[in-house]
Structure 1
Amino acid sequence: MNILIDLVPDTVEIDGIDYKINTCFRISMMFELLMQDNSIPEDEKLKMALNLYYEEVPDNLNKAVEKILWFYKCGKEDDISNSNNTENANNNSKKADNIYSFGHDDEYIYSAFLDQYGIDLQDIEHLHWWKFKAMFKSLKDDNLISKIMGYRSITISSDMSDNDKKYYRKMKEIYALPDNRTQEEKENDFDNVLSSIF
C-alpha cells in the first residue's frame, strides 16, 4: 500500500468477505498499549484486540488477527511477515516502545500535533491510523517528543566527548520510559545477564 496512491482502507477482506475495521488512531494506540501490558494473559489480549477492531468478529480468527497486524503496520506487509499471533505483535510493540510510549508520552505527542499540524487530538472526532502514523513519523526535530525519542535512541559511543557522553546519559535518565516487565521477566533477564558473564 502507498498512502500517496491508494486510499486508506476502512475494511479488510477475509475469506472473500469485507469486514469493517475501526480505523481511528485511538483504537490502534489502545492496541499497542494492550500488547505492551504484561498483566493481561495472551488469550485475553487476543479477544480484546479482536473486539477493538471489529464490530463483527470474523470466524477465521487467524486471518482476523493477521489483518489487524497488517492494518496496525499501515499495510507494510514486509514488516509483519510470519506474524500471525498476538505474541509477535507484542514483540513488535515492545521494540517500538523503546523510544516512545503512547501511555507515557501522551502530553508530548498531543502538544507536537497541536504545534506542527494545528490538530487538537482531543477535539478531532476521527483521524485514520495510517494518516496519524505518517504525521507522527514526520514530526519535526524541534518538537520535544522528537528530541526525547532522539535521546532514547542515541548510542553513547567511545568516540563522543566526555561532555557529550555525560549529557546523553543524563537525558536518557531523565526521559527513560518506565520498565513494564513483570518481576519474573526482570529476574529472568537478570539471570541471563549473570549466566552470560560467568
Structure 2
Amino acid sequence: MKLQYRLDETVEIQGVTHRINLSFDTVLRLFDLLRDPDLPEAEKISLGLQLLLGVSFLYDIETQNEIFLAVLEAFDIWKRPEPRYDVNGNLLKPKVKDVAGQHFSFNYDADNIYAAFYQAYGIDLFEQQGKMRWEKFIALFGGLPDETRFRQIVSIRTRKPPKGKGSKEAKDELKKLKELYALPKEGEEDEQK
C-alpha cells in the first residue's frame, strides 16, 4: 500500500478490465476456501477467481492458476516464493511456510481481533464487511496496540520461559497460560469454537 496512490479497484486480465473485491471479509473467505481440504486445487482456483472478480473464466486450469497467482501477488495477498538452488545450481522446490510458526488465527482468534479493533479504533468489523479493503484492514491489524487482549494473547503464545533461579513459579504460570491460549491443532479449530 502506498499512501500517495489510490487503491486499485480493477485488474486487467488479457485485455479485459474486471472490478476486484478486496474487502477484508472476502479475503478472509478466500483463505478459508484455500485451506479447505475437501476441495480439489482446480476448484479452489476457479472459486477463488469468482470470489475476487465475480466472474468465471473458461481458460484452462494452468492459465486460471497463473491469473489467480498474479492477482494475489499484485494486491499483496500472497508473495511468490523466491527460487532456491542447491550447491550445484539445481532448482529446489519452494519452502512451504511453517504454519506452526504463526501465532494467531483469523478464525480462532476472531472474537479477540474484533474486540481489539473496536477497543483500539472504535471500528465494528461487522459494519465494515464489504467496505474496508484488505490493505487497510491488515495495516490496522498490524498496528493493534499491546493493551488489546488479542496482542496480550499473542504475547503469551510467543513468550520464552524465564531463566534463572526462583523462576519455577513463573515458568509454571507461563506454561498454564500457553496451554490456555494455545492455537488448536490442524482440523481442531472448528471443534473448539
- TM-score (ref. length: structure 2): 0.73
The amino acid of 1:108's aligned partner reads N
| Alpha carbons 2:45, 2:64 under 8 Å: kept | no
Deviation of 1:163 (Å): 3.4
Would you say 1:147 and 2:146 are equivalent positions? no
Deviation of 1:18 (Å): 2.8
Q: Residue in 2 aligned with 1:178? A: 184
- TM-score (ref. length: structure 1): 0.71
Deviation of 1:72 (Å): 5.8
Cα distance in 2 for residues equivalent to 1:40 and 1:158: 46
User: What RMSD in Å do the two structures reach over aligned CA positions?
Assistant: 3.0
Deviation of 1:111 (Å): 0.9
Cα distance in 2 for residues equivalent to 1:35 and 1:97: 19
- SS, match of residue 103 in structure 1: coil
Would you say 1:132 and 2:137 are equivalent positions? yes
Deviation of 1:96 (Å): 8.4
Deviation of 1:142 (Å): 0.6
| Alpha carbons 1:141, 1:147 under 8 Å: kept | yes
Cα distance in 2 for residues equivalent to 1:107 and 1:72: 26
Residues matched between the structures, number: 171
Q: In the alignment, which of 165, 171, 175 is matched to residue 169 of structure 1? A: 175
The amino acid of 1:172's aligned partner reads K
| Alpha carbons 2:46, 2:56 under 8 Å: kept | no
Deviation of 1:145 (Å): 0.8
User: Which blocks of at least 5 consecutive residues in structure 2 are unaligned?
Assistant: 84-93, 189-193
When residues 97 and 120 of structure 1 are mapped into structure 2, their CA distance, relative to the original with a 3 A threshold, is farther
- SS, match of residue 140 in structure 1: coil
Would you say 1:8 and 2:7 are equivalent positions? yes
| Alpha carbons 1:113, 1:119 under 8 Å: kept | yes
- Higher normalized contact order (CA 8 Å, seq sep 6+, divided by chain length): 1
Cα distance in 1 for residues equivalent to 2:42 and 2:120: 39
Cα distance in 1 for residues equivalent to 2:181 and 2:160: 15
